[in-house]
Structure 1
Amino acid sequence: MVTEDPCQHAESLPHWSQEYLQLTSGEFRGRIVEMSSGAVQLFRESMDQVIDEKGHPRPSSYTFGVPINVHRGGYWQAHEVGRDSLLTLSPGEELHFRTPQVSDIFAAVIDADTLDGYAQAVLGHEVSTLIARAQMQTLPSAAAMRYRQVLHEVMCCVQSTPDVLTHAASRQAVSESIINASLTALLSISEHPERSRGGHAIHRAIVERARNYILNRRDQPPSVSDLSAHLKMSRRGLHHAFMNVLGISPVTFLRYVRLHGVRKDLLHGGPDMTVSSAACKWGFWHMGMFSSYYKALFGESPSSTLKRPPQVRSQPWSSGHGDWPFPGMPD
């Protein structure tokens, strides 16, 4: 599935509840390739803008991920992301992912009871202990490549022969391949100490408190002074936290939240929706300045957004064309 809007992209991944905020200017292009097999979900997600992601996978599940291609500047759960990072979420853990400019990752979501039972029976290990030791560690290069390769092979097989998911035996084999590969990656983590998150984790917490405060006051967006007062910190400290975590100032973040709100209204509004009414609802009063901000961020005018059909633009997944589906990996 190809998407051209970050908000709709966030809504297009099955079994996830997400909010995406675009932080860099320009047209958004994303793609999701997804399959589900009982207790396991596997997907590949690619995006070409910096996005601040917040979300939850399906309840009572573990999430494992490995980058295929990422630029510098990405942070998963306040840890910097490299190409061989092992990305993890424990059951009930909320996702916080600031993507780099180019982000292309595999992720596997596995039912917690299924994985816990399998790990205990086969390995004699508790998954929670392994994840605590492995959180955002760098996989050995060979282990990272093996993990990517297994997920790639499973995805390609299911896409080329969808019937494998209609038969119990092959469906079970697919699930076990993903589970085995994920546990093997976990076990390959070296015993070196976990890297400290340092100041970035503190700044991420500040940004999250500010974000929640803003989103709980959508009808009356607060000012930077309001944020500073609510968080009991100086404007300078607030500015430093936002620049460290998101790479933008609090003023810009406030504007982006409002612009995303307008975009959602334009995409999902009824026949009576107008650009000016949506803009005014979100606190924009200078239509010329609003249109300029909007086009700079999303790469199209608000009137063009209003004319879009109210659904995600999509096209079927296909292999062997250009850099998709798996650049740099064999078919």
Structure 2
Amino acid sequence: MPLLRFKDFEAYSDAFAGVDGILRALSPNQGEWILHMLDAGEVTASLGRDGGTGVYHGLNHVDRYLAYMALPGSDTAMQGQDTSDDMFVWFPPRAEIHGHTRKISRFMGLSMDAAAVVQRAREVAGLFDEHVARTHVVSIGRLEVAEIVKLVTRALMIDLEDPTLFQAPSVRKAFSGQVIHALLRCMVLDNPEAVRRSRGRPPVPRNEIIRRSLDHIHKAIRGDAVIGDLVLSAGTSQRSLNRAFDEAFGMGPQQYYMLERLHVIRKALREARPGDTVTSICSQFGVWDQGRFAGMYHRTFGLLPSVELAAALAR
């Protein structure tokens, strides 16, 4: 979706995804009200820049969760608490939202399908229902929040460059799954006591751990699963999973996943057709940071993805 630019603050607030509310201006406009949105199905991401200061109150939609992040340089209060770049505010369906800004501010909003969040919270993160079903501040640290902001910002930029990419179900599913998993992971790290702990789990044989893991890794690469769910899929502990992969392949499961994804993308690059780009191919497999990926690709295969693609198209 292209950047939405508003001269009117009311039109700006009416465009917010997953929320019905009212914005009251506190000062004359000092610039345009800008909103960049990306609808990926289970997640709708919004990056906003206010054109002035204001007071906001609204109601989250009945079938959506919302994560709100004030971006660096902002001066915002949400739910009566000053925000910062090391936290986000979690809103369940039908939650009341109250906030105000003291200067021109920027925010990121992540509106998520309620069914997808609940399923992942129960089956993957192990969070109690009451933990995800209440409004609260998740104070986790700048690095964790910055990683989520970086992921979403990169996806928004890719969408601007090629709006057709996020029409592919695999790309939408990969992005949505990564975002929801990252937020729930932060909630677990913020409050470990909110997680159900299973006891007396029977041990899983190493070969079965590897079989289940490889099946899940291939699904994750195709966009049919999220790599963060690997421990659940393997049916064992993180320690046992790490040990099984180290014994079988001499590397950890995450490293193996990245290696396997490199080879799958290499095959896709070598089979590229006119109109394909490195970005479009990488996005199909959930890779949003092309700079970092290009470095890994070069270290593994001795050439850059762009060179691989150019050679394929020349053939």
Using the size of structure 1 for normalisation, the TM-score is: 0.53
Letter of the 1:58 counterpart? H
Query: Could you say which residue in structure 2 is the equivalent of 1:156?
Result: 157
Q: CA deviation at 1:47?
A: 0.7
Kindly indicate whether the alpha-carbon contact (under 8 Å) linking 1:19 and 1:54 is maintained by their aligned counterparts in 2: yes
Letter of the 2:111 counterpart? V
Kindly indicate whether the alpha-carbon contact (under 8 Å) linking 2:29 and 2:51 is maintained by their aligned counterparts in 1: no
User: What is the count of residue pairs matched by the alignment?
Assistant: 192
Compare relative contact order (CA 8 Å, sep 6+) and give the higher one, 1 or 2.
1
CA–CA separation in structure 2 for the residues paired with 1:136 and 1:38: 25
Query: Could you say which residue in structure 2 is the equivalent of 1:237?
Result: none
Query: Could you say which residue in structure 1 is the equivalent of 2:206?
Result: none
Q: CA deviation at 1:186?
A: 2.0
CA–CA separation in structure 2 for the residues paired with 1:142 and 1:14: 26
SS of the counterpart of 2:139? coil
Kindly indicate whether the alpha-carbon contact (under 8 Å) linking 2:43 and 2:112 is maintained by their aligned counterparts in 1: yes
Kindly indicate whether the alpha-carbon contact (under 8 Å) linking 2:69 and 2:88 is maintained by their aligned counterparts in 1: yes
CA–CA separation in structure 2 for the residues paired with 1:117 and 1:191: 19
Query: Could you say which residue in structure 2 is the equivalent of 1:178?
Result: 179
**From 14, 26, 34, the counterpart of 1:31:** 34
Query: Could you say which residue in structure 2 is the equivalent of 1:5?
Result: 8
**From 94, 106, 110, the counterpart of 1:92:** 94
Using the size of structure 2 for normalisation, the TM-score is: 0.55
CA–CA separation in structure 2 for the residues paired with 1:120 and 1:191: 14
Kindly indicate whether the alpha-carbon contact (under 8 Å) linking 1:45 and 1:104 is maintained by their aligned counterparts in 2: yes
Q: CA deviation at 1:8?
A: 1.6
Letter of the 1:135 counterpart? H
Query: Could you say which residue in structure 1 is the equivalent of 2:139?
Result: 138
CA deviation vs aligned residue, 1:290-309 (integer Å, no higher than 9, x gap): xxxxxxxxxxxxxxxxxxxx
Kindly indicate whether the alpha-carbon contact (under 8 Å) linking 1:88 and 1:131 is maintained by their aligned counterparts in 2: no
**From 64, 69, 87, the counterpart of 1:66:** 69
Kindly indicate whether the alpha-carbon contact (under 8 Å) linking 1:29 and 1:48 is maintained by their aligned counterparts in 2: yes
Kindly indicate whether the alpha-carbon contact (under 8 Å) linking 2:38 and 2:46 is maintained by their aligned counterparts in 1: yes
Q: CA deviation at 1:109?
A: 0.8
Equivalent residues in 2 for 1:314-329, closer than 5 Å: none
**From 112, 115, 133, the counterpart of 1:113:** 115
RMSD between aligned alpha carbons?
2.5
Letter of the 1:153 counterpart? R
CA deviation vs aligned residue, 1:63-121 (integer Å, no higher than 9, x gap): 0122223433x210111112222122111101111123121111111111110101211
CA–CA separation in structure 2 for the residues paired with 1:161 and 1:179: 23
The runs of 5 or more residues in structure 1 that have no matched partner are: 193-329
Query: Could you say which residue in structure 1 is the equivalent of 2:21?
Result: 18
Equivalent residues in 2 for 1:272-283, closer than 5 Å: none
The runs of 5 or more residues in structure 2 that have no matched partner are: 194-289, 292-315
Letter of the 1:113 counterpart? A
Q: CA deviation at 1:190?
A: 5.7
Kindly indicate whether the alpha-carbon contact (under 8 Å) linking 1:53 and 1:96 is maintained by their aligned counterparts in 2: yes
Kindly indicate whether the alpha-carbon contact (under 8 Å) linking 1:70 and 1:100 is maintained by their aligned counterparts in 2: no
Letter of the 2:148 counterpart? Y
**Structure 1 pair 23/103, CA: closer, same or farther in 2 (3 Å)?**
same
Kindly indicate whether the alpha-carbon contact (under 8 Å) linking 2:74 and 2:106 is maintained by their aligned counterparts in 1: no
Q: CA deviation at 1:184?
A: 2.3
SS of the counterpart of 1:188? helix
CA–CA separation in structure 1 for the residues paired with 2:17 and 2:64: 14
Query: Could you say which residue in structure 2 is the equivalent of 1:122?
Result: 124
Kindly indicate whether the alpha-carbon contact (under 8 Å) linking 2:125 and 2:185 is maintained by their aligned counterparts in 1: no
Q: CA deviation at 1:129?
A: 1.1
**Structure 1 pair 52/156, CA: closer, same or farther in 2 (3 Å)?**
same
**Structure 1 pair 52/181, CA: closer, same or farther in 2 (3 Å)?**
same
Letter of the 2:117 counterpart? L
Kindly indicate whether the alpha-carbon contact (under 8 Å) linking 2:138 and 2:186 is maintained by their aligned counterparts in 1: no
